[in-house]
Amino acid sequence: MKLPKYLLLNKEVGETPLEVIQDYKRDNHAFAAVPMAYAGRLDPLASGQLLILVGDECKKLTSYTGLDKEYEFEVLLGFKTDSADLLGLGEIGVLPKAAPTKQEISKAASSLEGKQRFSYPAFSSKTVNGKPLFQYALEGTIDEIEIPTKDVMVFELKHLGTREVVANDLFEQISHKIESIKPVTEHQKALGNDFRRPEIRKRYSDISSQIDKDQKFFILRFRCVCSSGTYMRTLAQMIGQRLGTYGTAFSIHRTIIGQYVKLGPIGFWKKRYTL
């Protein structure tokens, strides 16, 4: 059997990349003993394309990790967490009384296009002194180190729409997302305490009990084309800041992996993806 160099597989919310590979091998017996490796991760609550290298192509992993990406993601306004997505300890900020206008959102998005320098999220696997940032965050020592930054390119950030949801429905949706992740029981991950879900559940319960069940929240949807290493969680925070409030990534879905090429006259961008 001639092996493909790679596969593009879909990761669901709550799945890990390793589970995606295991499920594929279970359903495709011819690949059961074939080495596979994923070139780039997705957050536990993110979904979408995973690039899976097959066989000898696994040896070329580093040549695939710098590919550009396209995402569709949502930003929950007026709410922030320490992880910048829903799998974190949250708090309510100043809630917008009305949805931002299209002009306000467009201005915020435009200000985040082009070359950007973003700090890595506290809950990320970027290492400092040989230890991942998320471990500092879990230990409560994140303020004792300098969080590294990364230069990225946001080729396009486009607002796709706005929706509103009342608090009662919002917290039901949040709960469903949090519970979609399988319990984590490995001893080596004891510090994370199953993604801190006992604490997170209690925090959301406390917040929901303090606000009216009919309180309106606004969720903005965007499409982003960007260079490798651009965190949608960071963009969600920055969009919220540009709009004068908090922003948290409500959903993240990776739609394309490839190369974004500039074609045509200066200032004109055309999408072309190749692997």
Checking if the pLDDT of 190 tops 50, the result is: no
Domain 68-258 has CATH 3.30.750.200: no
Rounded CA-CA distance 218/166 in Å is 9
Rounded CA-CA distance 22/16 in Å is 10
Q: Average pLDDT for residues 252-261, to the nearest whole number?
A: 90
Name, in order, each residue with C-beta under 8 angstroms of 104's C-beta and a sequence gap of 6 or more: 243
Q: What is the mean pLDDT of the chain?
A: 90
pLDDT digits (tens, 9 = 90+) for 213-250: 999 999 999 999 999 999 999 999 999 999 999 999 99
What is the DSSP annotation of 1-24?
-PPPSEEEEEEPTT--HHHHHHHH
pTM for the full predicted model: 0.91
Note the pLDDT of residue 273: 46
pLDDT digits (tens, 9 = 90+) for 93-130: 888 889 999 999 999 999 999 999 999 999 999 999 99
Name, in order, each residue with C-beta under 8 angstroms of 33's C-beta and a sequence gap of 6 or more: none
Active site residue 68: no
Candidate list 23, 27, 43, 169, residue with the active-site label: 43
Q: Average pLDDT for residues 71-97, to the nearest whole number?
A: 93
Query: CB–CB of 84/248 below 8 Å?
Result: yes
